[in-house]
Amino acid sequence: MNPQVARWSATVGQCDGLVVVTPEYEWADKAVGLVGYAGQGGVRAVEHLRSVCGQLKLADVWTQSGLSFAADFDEQDGCNSGESQFGLGHKMIAEVIASAAALKPLRVRKFGVLGADAPPSLAPMSTRGEQ
């Protein structure tokens, strides 16, 4: 297991409660892939996260990877997933990349990501003199 992940897991494991701090708007119109892990692959947690993603205007991709403690981890090597999990991971990442590319013009138009140097068709309204 990655040493940073091990330290984080140990720290969180000792806590009686957590505070999660998250932005609401900075994530809008971005693609996201979800990976769960638990006894059953974290499927329930991922399904709940999908509804949160919708409220944050994140575009979650369909493919997800669910890692099982019994099948995908061992004490000696940490994560030791088989080819099927790697295949799902690669497919999910490809979907995130494709969705992110498709959403980029929307983010540029809404949030002015490219700023004043953007082509007129992609420039934020404020840089084109429109109200």
- CA–CA gap between residue 69 and residue 55 (Å, rounded): 30
1: confidence class by pLDDT, cuts 50, 70, 90: low
Rounded-to-integer distance, Cα 60 and Cα 44, Å = 15
Q: Are 32 and 58 in contact (CB under 8 A)?
A: yes
Q: How far is CA 95 from the centre of its chain?
A: 11
Distance between CA atoms of 92 and 98, rounded to whole angstroms?
A: 10
Q: What integer pLDDT is reported at residue 70 of this predicted model?
A: 75
Please give the Cα distance from 40 to 38 (Å, whole number): 5
What's the chain's average pLDDT?
79
Consecutive H or E run containing 88: helix 83-111
Helix (H, G, I), strand (E, B) or coil at 108: helix
Per-residue tokens: 52: 């949160």
Q: How far apart are CA 30 and CA 22, in angstroms?
A: 15
3-state secondary structure (DSSP) of residue 81: coil
pLDDT digits (tens, 9 = 90+) for 60-105: 999 988 877 777 777 776 666 666 677 888 999 999 999 999 999 9
- Tens digit of each residue's pLDDT (9 = 90 or more) over 20-65: 777 777 888 999 999 888 877 888 999 999 999 999 899 999 998 8
